[in-house]
């Protein structure tokens, strides 16, 4: 247990994905507890579908964090789940808003605030984006990172027990052992192996591989066209139709081809082209499990016409017109950033004041 410090800051903020919570996270959490009487732990990539990269729900990650703390310290920590956003400015605004809401619910002060973290590479640039907060940079703890821990969990190597014992707190280790014996582990381990083979197949490339894909958001009346993936990665998850760009295609030609192959949307190409409302490039470096993948989103608004017939084919196990009003309830069923893509084009979630 730590004694709440007589600090100049009232709140310490620790941001991470904690997939899973490991020793490096524990050191940062201890620094946060030493820096302020109240700590907000922001759990990123919340509300994502389970995958080898995001195997644990935000609630499971919150429980790992809670179990690592003494009872008195648990009372000082509040957990704030935070979804990913295509728009970084929106992410900053919503994170502040979510922390303020959590503090308000506990009638706790929100300032002055210190942000705890270590700047290891470009993925930590966000630490410099919180105006008015004090950044307390910490030395990086030389322990296995989350990627290595997940590889140990799913890789089924002989030294997995020893690797995990060195990398995570005892409470997390006990939690992982129970979780790995449950029904969620086997399908994720199978998908992890397929992704490992995918990465290995590209390892002989002379330069870092950047993949290019296309995706299609098709709206008609109050519904949007979605597929259920028939193959890994993300087998069984909901997605918008799309796929990889072929060598002799433009991105628009690729989008039209993928839409036809996966859904057989019963609409003449000329009519579909007339309904192209906007396009957007989604290029967040870690948006896809298959490595650096840049996708070109195409939004087709078919207006109020009758819903065209669709038929699933190719990579799609099913294709259906889903009411737009049901999408938010299905957020945790979407592949990669496809829910964020739908939100970008359809405005599913409220935006913070000043960003609308």
Closest CA to 310 of 262, 351, 247: 262
User: Residue 355: inside a domain, yes or no?
Assistant: no
Verify that 130 and 225 share a domain, yes or no.
no
CA 48, chain centre distance (Å): 5
User: Residue 3: inside a domain, yes or no?
Assistant: no
Verify that 131 and 31 share a domain, yes or no.
yes
Verify that 85 and 133 share a domain, yes or no.
yes
Verify that 303 and 342 share a domain, yes or no.
yes
CA 66/CA 60 separation, integer angstroms: 10
Using the 3D structure, point to which of 134, 161, 180 is the last residue of a domain: 180
Using the 3D structure, point to which of 180, 199, 229 is the last residue of a domain: 180
| DSSP secondary structure letter of residue 204 | T
What CATH number is given to the structural domain containing 267?
3.90.79.10
User: Looking at the 3D structure of the chain, how many domains does it have?
Assistant: 2
Verify that 170 and 228 share a domain, yes or no.
no
Verify that 44 and 153 share a domain, yes or no.
yes
User: Residue 202: inside a domain, yes or no?
Assistant: no
| DSSP secondary structure letter of residue 286 | T
Verify that 331 and 290 share a domain, yes or no.
yes
In the prediction, which pLDDT does 109 show? 61
| DSSP secondary structure letter of residue 245 | P
CA 170/CA 275 separation, integer angstroms: 56
CA 342/CA 295 separation, integer angstroms: 13
Q: Which domain holds residue 226?
A: 211-346
In the prediction, which pLDDT does 239 show? 98
Question: In tens digits, what is the pLDDT along the chain, a chain of 356 residues?
Answer: 444 444 578 899 999 999 999 999 999 999 999 999 999 999 999 999 999 999 999 999 999 999 999 999 999 999 999 999 988 899 999 999 999 988 887 766 666 899 998 776 555 677 777 888 998 887 776 677 899 999 999 998 788 889 999 999 999 999 999 999 999 999 999 999 999 999 999 999 999 999 999 999 999 999 999 999 999 899 999 999 999 999 999 999 999 999 999 999 999 999 999 999 999 999 999 999 999 999 999 999 999 999 999 999 988 999 999 999 999 999 999 999 999 999 999 999 998 877 76
Verify that 161 and 302 share a domain, yes or no.
no
Verify that 22 and 169 share a domain, yes or no.
yes
Verify that 244 and 97 share a domain, yes or no.
no
What CATH number is given to the structural domain containing 89?
3.40.50.620
Distances (CA, A) of 346 to 64, 222, 300, 301, 327: 35, 10, 11, 10, 10
User: Residue 231: inside a domain, yes or no?
Assistant: yes
Residue with structure tokens 């399908």?
187
Question: How many CA atoms, within 13 angstroms, populate the side-chain half-sphere of residue 309?
Answer: 2
In the prediction, which pLDDT does 183 show? 97
User: Residue 295: inside a domain, yes or no?
Assistant: yes
User: Residue 288: inside a domain, yes or no?
Assistant: yes
């Amino acid at each position: 247990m730590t004694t709440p410090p007589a600090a100049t800051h009232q709140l310490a903020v620790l941001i991470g994905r904690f997939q899973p919570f490991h020793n490096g996270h524990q050191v940062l959490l201890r620094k946060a507890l030493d820096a302020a009487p109240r700590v907000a732990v922001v759990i990123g990539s919340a509300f994502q579908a389970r995958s080898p990269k995001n195997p644990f729900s935000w609630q499971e990650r919150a429980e790992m964090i809670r179990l690592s703390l003494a009872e008195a310290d648990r009372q000082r920590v509040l957990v704030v789940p935070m979804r990913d956003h295509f728009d970084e400015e929106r992410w900053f605004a919503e994170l502040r808003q979510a922390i303020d809401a959590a503090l308000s619910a506990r009638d706790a002060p929100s300032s002055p605030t210190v942000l705890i973290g270590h700047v290891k590479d470009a993925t930590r640039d966000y630490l410099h984006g919180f105006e008015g907060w004090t950044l307390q940079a910490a030395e990086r703890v030389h322990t296995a990172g989350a990627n290595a821990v997940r590889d140990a969990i799913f890789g089924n190597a002989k030294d997995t027990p020893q690797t995990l014992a060195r990398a995570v707190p005892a409470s997390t280790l006990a939690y992982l052992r129970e979780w790995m014996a449950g029904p969620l582990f086997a399908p994720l381990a199978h998908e992890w192996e397929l992704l490992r083979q995918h990465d290995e197949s590209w390892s002989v490339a002379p330069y870092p591989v950047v993949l290019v894909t296309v995706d299609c958001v098709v709206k008609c009346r109050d519904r949007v066209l979605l597929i259920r993936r028939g193959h890994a990665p993300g087998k069984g998850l909901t997605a918008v139709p799309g796929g990889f760009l072929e060598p002799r295609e433009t991105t628009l030609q690729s989008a039209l081809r993928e839409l036809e192959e996966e859904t057989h949307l019963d609409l003449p190409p000329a009519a579909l082209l007339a309904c192209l409302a906007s396009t957007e490039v989604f290029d967040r470096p870690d948006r896809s499990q298959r490595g650096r993948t840049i996708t070109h989103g195409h939004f087709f608004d078919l207006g109020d016409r009758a819903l065209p017939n669709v038929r699933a084919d190719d990579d799609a196990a099913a294709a259906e017109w889903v009411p737009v009003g049901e999408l938010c309830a299905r957020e945790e069923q979407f592949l990669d950033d496809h829910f964020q893509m739908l939100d970008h084009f359809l405005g599913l979630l409220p935006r913070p004041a000043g960003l609308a």
